[in-house]
Structure 1
Amino acid sequence: MDPKLEERARELRALLQKASIAYYVHNAPILEDSVYDRLYRELQELEQAHPELITPDSPTQRVGEKPAEQFPTVSHRVPLYSLENAFNLEELKGWQERLLRLLGRTPEEGELEYVCELKIDGAALALTYVDGLLQRGATRGDGQVGEDITPNVRAIPSIPLRLATANPPPVLEVRGEAYLPLAEFERINRERCSAGDPPFANPRNCAAGTLRQLDSRVVAARKLSFFAYALHWPEGWPAGDPPQTQWECLQRLKELGLPVNPLSQVCRNLQEVAQFYERWRQAQLPYACDGVVVKLNSLRLQEEAGFTQKFPRWAIALKYPAQEVPTRIRAIVASVGRTGAVTPVAELEPVLLAGTTVSRASLHNADRLEELDVHIGDTAIVRKAGEIIPEVVGILKELRPPDAVRYRLPSHCPECGTPLVRPAGEAITRCPNPDCPAQIRGQLQHWASRDALDIEGLGEKRVAQLVEKLGVRTVSDLYRLTPEQLESLEGMGSRSSQKLVQAIQRSRQQPWERVLYGLGIPHVGVVTAQTLAQHFPTPELLAQASIEDIAQIYGIGREIAEAVVSWFADPAHQQLLQELRELGIPALPPQKSPIAAQVLAGKKFVITGTLPTLSRQEAKAWIESRGGKVTASVSRQTDYVVVGSDPGSKLKKAQELGIPLLSEAELLALDPGNPHS
């Protein structure tokens, strides 16, 4: 290979990357489009003539791979949490008051400092850079597991293929939002209409759909953009001290060549947050924006505040007012959920709202009914809470008909007749009867839902038949059903009965985290169930855990820990677990499964690279359950370094210090009496 050609290719790659960063990150182009195009063509022709010159970070390699058949799933090293919403400044103030109490700060100590960022209406992305090179791009998914869409991410020109630093961290996790500029959205819809295709409903749907295209050339043609807003350095930050604030994170992202929304600001108090919110609420922006994200600026305070099962406590989305429409209330029904909560639901004249037809809307609770003074026959103002759940936010009393009847919650459960109760200090009215048919139906539907045991064919109508006609009362009863019993139900023949029984029996193979979610423990959602299952890989270990054991897990708070401990202490729930165990569900091993011996007590481990079968969290849980400790960096106090494929700089440091190296198999062999299961 001619050294001059190699040198020219390096020069072109460096110049084109520099031009892209100037254009997308700094909004200060250094090359005319025509010049950029000519240089790009020169590099392209060089690589075509000499394929050995092609590198993964070459601008020519953004698009061109053959269409994928499907997207593989991928576990996020750092979970992608969603945000709690505030819909006005009063709710934001209430959030800050909770945060101050959580941090043990008094008003006299001064207000907290925040960073405000515009909430772009797009799709969240997780980017992984290894030694500065883009290795993976993934969707949010459920927050723990997403889809690997790396070819599509590479097709977004504002996402750098290589970080703009000579000394990158071994691994850098970047979070951000892929979005579609409004001008591109309008262009795409014009083209679709001309071709006879239906237009996209909004830029967010178009962006999300584009990211899941199997052909990355389609992604490139739609010209998505990207803003980064968070970074994590799971294996250490070698280039100086890590950022100490969210604002420093944003600046560091820009230094690394990642685009950051310039319309961000440090706010010293809530008054400045409110001013930022009002400044941009009515602004004409080149992209869809549905609010402002407010984050604690101090990363130390963020860590101290922690997380709920779904949200970081240190951040909130202050949403712009949602679209609201008027419609008439036909009737109001009291709906009883699986936890016994009784919710008044308005049945409405169907109305189009935010792209969907709405015919039912929540009235939340008795206090809300009283506050709104709701009558059947009223004209209500309806909006979508968080743009998802329809709710009644107001009543046009001047349009109230003379025969309108005021509605109040019933005194007795509409399902079982049990007197309803409202515990002191709670807004929710509940049915206290655990044998209430509505609660039983809700629990069965939850158990069979897609994120739990995923039992196909066991929908709302079928569950109601099982409860009413066959006397099913608990999830364990499902596994005793026979095809002959099911054939007695309306709409069930021999073939459909066999199929449903097979689907129920197949669900025995679902992993422990799905079973844990399906049990319906208060505050334990999909992500929390996955986290708990990784730290307590059997129900026995979780049942024996204390509130302190559970609360110390990253992303788990004391409220969740108390709910879990309380649930496992209930004799009825212990009986349910025993019945499931006797039915042979593999996710629930024998009750006498021993707790791991503390064979690793006092030993310090570091994990680097990707292990063959264990995720990093699983390996950490395995070590800690045996008394060991997992640390983030290698030092002379480290006893072992566990090495997987593609290890980072920790391997080199361990070799320099002479620290013993272990494979996954060698790690598990440290406890031959109780291997990982």
Structure 2
Amino acid sequence: MTAPASQTASNQFNERATELRQLLTRAAHAYYVLDAPEMEDAVYDRLYRELLDLEAAHPELVIADSPTQRVGGTPSEGFTSVAHRIPLFSLDNAFSAEELRSWYARLLKVLDREPAADAPPPALPMVGELKIDGNALALSYENGLLVRGTTRGDGEQGEEITANVRTIASIPLRLQIDPPPAWVEVRGEALIPDRTFAAINADRAARDEPLFANPRNACAGTLRQLDPRVVASRRLDFFAYTLHLPNDWEGSRPTSQWECLSWLKTAGFRVNPNASLLPDLAAVESFFNAWDSRRHDLDYATDGVVVKLDDLRLQDSAGFTQKAPRWAIALKYPAEEAPSRLLRLTCQVGRTGVITPVAEFEPVALAGTSVSRATLHNADRLTELDLHSGDTIVVRKAGEIIPEVLRVLPELRPEGAQPLDLPHQCPSCESELVRESGEAATRCVNSSCPAILRGALRHWVSKGALDVEGMGGKLIEQLVERGLVRSISDLYRLDVALLSSLERMGEKSAENLVTAMETSRAQPWARQLYALGIHHVGEVNAKALAAAFPDVDTLAQTAVDHPEAISELHGIGLEITQSLQQWFSTGANQTLVQQLREVGLSLAASEQERLDLASRTSMSGALSGQTVVITGTLPSMSRSQAKDLIEAAGGKVSGSVSKKTSFVLAGEEAGSKLEKANKLGIKVIDEAGLSTLIASDEI
């Protein structure tokens, strides 16, 4: 029986669409990844148009990895924060050959491969890769298909920008692996090549739009564009460098970083061609030195090389610190330096009264940005530099980010130039400045100083403290300048009528702000304590103190009369104890505490907080002295929640498995940590097992 004409036509359309997709995908890979075009642009454009028309006429032919789906759709309303399947750790930095050797010595120690006395260190093969100055991306594939692209974020969570990632032609929409693993996680660097950056800025200049400062900033801003069509127009590129595969995949599994790079190339990714397999540390140093000059010939920015232990099993054995892998390090080139002429010395007043000298100089270009100011830290740094008016100074970007004055060129000093020092009076309130014995900082100790007040207010309403939405820096400036707020407590006396009279404050905004201030009164005691801005008391320390002292009176009395009781707390040292003692002994701060109570702040743990604390305390010994490693996805709680539960029960959470690990808490899709635990014979439990352990107080 013959197939109906309509079905025959449908099959023909489907076959042609499949053929076109294959041709276009292969051509794009050759052009963007291999740098070896195999099709004329005009031919590519004609075939692309044919596929586009075919899919428009027959929408059922459109599939997610079609070349036509790289760009399209409506602009996003915003980005969603999502958890990474596998965290994106940052790298520790080394800035010299000596620091590189120190890292290698630490690596050998953790791997139990330290050389005998006077023996040379054993050689471990490593991979050297150029450190691309771009923006890290995490790519997730399921059954070979790109399903998610995210920014690095804080390493644990990032922003989902899948629509934007799909516009990057060097990122495959479907892996060229058949059959593909159930899932694949790829890490790499998005970038804008220099020639593309120049073209973008030339186009913006022609349209009288502000120019981008440098390619990295342009790339970061582009990735966060809400309209994927804008992203596509800026022609981003991508280099892949890290691969994660499921443990149960039966395909050809890489056993080294070098094989991972090869796997990524086979799968269709663009891998930086300048990576090299290096047999020992001497080869690493040669690789680093060779690229110090050659890097300037590249069409993209690189500020160093990344050195990785090649053997993946040794990587797993080396593990991680709390923030970085022990098996890799970024070896940075010296920061770019430039001379400039000092124009003036100014001072900033921080929220704790610390006076920070700032050098203002003629603008210079450093690492792609224009720089005209740099902090000088304190009076000791001023003395060390021997800074004079009109000096010629050498400026650099420390770590490629923060401008700093490196040195002075005294041979170019103008005749009669006067030495510069910190003023004796506060630049904000003209009070006498104080520098206590043994401290590097010079401070204004006038609690009524407008600069200190502005800083204290900004801190009080910040996200980690009372988290008052709508109370921005410009509004705080107005309130202080007009004398409407002379203390933190005055914030709670503001009403809608007064706020509505201020610049850029409508009645609705004023109502929202008053509501936000009212809501902030109910913030937990730990946040209130952190918001007070006591020197050295950060968010973590504030939580520890709030757990030990249920209200401000108990804390104040202990700090003043029995400070040794505070020093005995885990994680609270002498420096914090002395700071608390000094703060609560100061009359102005005692007045502030009283004022805050008068406007409705409890400065104490709520009944629920106390019940929660009592509950945690009752089981605080269950995991006392135990070291736990968490891996995989837990069924009913996040890793962060599991960590809080373990720590509340007296346990410690580590990022890597070792012989000292007490047990491993494993969820779904647990990775190499589970494998290592099994090899070492370490106990493995699930979420239900953890609950049982804590409840039974047995391990």
- TM-score, normalised via structure 2 length: 0.68
Match of 1:67 in 2: 75
1:201 is aligned, of 201, 213, 222, to 213
When residues 418 and 377 of structure 1 are mapped into structure 2, their CA distance, relative to the original with a 3 A threshold, is same
Question: Structure 2 counterpart of 1:398, which letter?
Answer: E
2:261 is aligned, of 234, 250, 253, to 250
Whether 1:583 aligns to 2:594 is no
Match of 2:338 in 1: 324
Offset of 1:30 from its aligned partner? Answer: 5.1
Question: What is the distance in 1 between the residues matched to 2:287 and 2:29?
Answer: 31
1:17 is aligned, of 9, 20, 25, to 25
Question: Structure 1: 5+ residue runs without aligned partners?
Answer: 544-560, 633-637, 650-663
Whether 1:345 aligns to 2:358 is yes
Question: Structure 2 counterpart of 1:400, which letter?
Answer: R
Question: What is the distance in 1 between the residues matched to 2:54 and 2:363?
Answer: 61
Match of 2:565 in 1: none
Q: Report matched runs for 1:155-554 at 5 Å.
A: 155-233=167-245, 236=247, 238-240=249-251, 243=254, 245-267=256-278, 268-269=280-281, 272-273=284-285, 275-285=287-297, 287-298=299-310, 300-301=314-315, 304=318, 306-307=320-321, 314-316=328-330, 318-319=332-333, 321-322=335-336, 324-331=338-345, 333=347, 337=350, 343-348=356-361, 358-364=371-377, 368-407=381-420, 417-422=433-438, 429=441, 442=455, 444-449=457-462, 453=467, 455-457=469-471, 459=473, 462=476, 477=489, 481=493, 502-507=515-520, 540=547
| Higher mean C-alpha displacement, 11-20 vs 122-131 | 11-20
Check whether the contact 2:633–2:670 (CA below 8 A) recurs between aligned residues. Answer: yes
Structure 1 residues 415-451: Cα deviation after superposition (integer angstroms, max 9, x where no partner): 775443447xxxx557698989787865553343467
Question: What is the distance in 2 between the residues matched to 1:308 and 1:411?
Answer: 43
SS of structure 1 residue aligned to 2:611: coil
Match of 1:556 in 2: none
Check whether the contact 1:457–1:500 (CA below 8 A) recurs between aligned residues. Answer: yes
Check whether the contact 1:521–1:563 (CA below 8 A) recurs between aligned residues. Answer: no
1:100 is aligned, of 101, 105, 121, to 105
| Higher mean C-alpha displacement, 400-409 vs 335-344 | 335-344
Whether 1:117 aligns to 2:122 is no
Offset of 1:134 from its aligned partner? Answer: 0.9
Question: Structure 2 counterpart of 1:315, which letter?
Answer: I
Whether 1:151 aligns to 2:163 is yes
Structure 1 residues 502-554: Cα deviation after superposition (integer angstroms, max 9, x where no partner): 544444578999889868799999xx97xx99xx99974999xxxxxxxxxxx
Question: What is the distance in 1 between the residues matched to 2:530 and 2:511?
Answer: 26
When residues 19 and 358 of structure 1 are mapped into structure 2, their CA distance, relative to the original with a 3 A threshold, is closer
Check whether the contact 1:179–1:224 (CA below 8 A) recurs between aligned residues. Answer: yes
Match of 2:556 in 1: none
Question: Structure 2: 5+ residue runs without aligned partners?
Answer: 1-6, 551-569, 585-589, 657-662, 672-686
Offset of 1:289 from its aligned partner? Answer: 0.8
SS of structure 1 residue aligned to 2:411: helix
Question: What is the distance in 1 between the residues matched to 2:256 and 2:349?
Answer: 45
Offset of 1:318 from its aligned partner? Answer: 0.8
Check whether the contact 1:182–1:288 (CA below 8 A) recurs between aligned residues. Answer: yes
| Higher mean C-alpha displacement, 120-129 vs 281-290 | 281-290
Question: Structure 2 counterpart of 1:51, which letter?
Answer: P
When residues 519 and 639 of structure 1 are mapped into structure 2, their CA distance, relative to the original with a 3 A threshold, is same
Question: What is the distance in 2 between the residues matched to 1:278 and 1:381?
Answer: 26
Query: Which structure has the greater CA radius of gyration?
Result: 2
Offset of 1:668 from its aligned partner? Answer: 13
When residues 135 and 442 of structure 1 are mapped into structure 2, their CA distance, relative to the original with a 3 A threshold, is same
SS of structure 1 residue aligned to 2:610: coil
Check whether the contact 1:200–1:206 (CA below 8 A) recurs between aligned residues. Answer: yes
Question: What is the distance in 2 between the residues matched to 1:48 and 1:513?
Answer: 58
Question: Structure 1 counterpart of 2:271, which letter?
Answer: V
Offset of 1:263 from its aligned partner? Answer: 1.1
When residues 609 and 470 of structure 1 are mapped into structure 2, their CA distance, relative to the original with a 3 A threshold, is same
Question: What is the distance in 1 between the residues matched to 2:99 and 2:670?
Answer: 43
When residues 164 and 610 of structure 1 are mapped into structure 2, their CA distance, relative to the original with a 3 A threshold, is farther
Offset of 1:165 from its aligned partner? Answer: 1.8
Question: What is the distance in 2 between the residues matched to 1:263 and 1:446?
Answer: 46
Question: Structure 2 counterpart of 1:67, which letter?
Answer: P
Question: Structure 2 counterpart of 1:381, which letter?
Answer: V
Question: What is the distance in 2 between the residues matched to 1:492 and 1:348?
Answer: 34
Question: What is the distance in 2 between the residues matched to 1:302 and 1:181?
Answer: 34
When residues 37 and 304 of structure 1 are mapped into structure 2, their CA distance, relative to the original with a 3 A threshold, is same
- TM-score, normalised via structure 1 length: 0.69
Match of 1:557 in 2: none
Check whether the contact 1:62–1:155 (CA below 8 A) recurs between aligned residues. Answer: yes
Question: What is the distance in 2 between the residues matched to 1:494 and 1:127?
Answer: 43
Check whether the contact 1:295–1:315 (CA below 8 A) recurs between aligned residues. Answer: yes
Question: What is the distance in 1 between the residues matched to 2:298 and 2:233?
Answer: 18
When residues 44 and 352 of structure 1 are mapped into structure 2, their CA distance, relative to the original with a 3 A threshold, is closer
When residues 185 and 513 of structure 1 are mapped into structure 2, their CA distance, relative to the original with a 3 A threshold, is farther
SS of structure 2 residue aligned to 1:160: coil
Question: Structure 2 counterpart of 1:394, which letter?
Answer: R
Question: What is the distance in 1 between the residues matched to 2:630 and 2:131?
Answer: 39
SS of structure 1 residue aligned to 2:176: coil
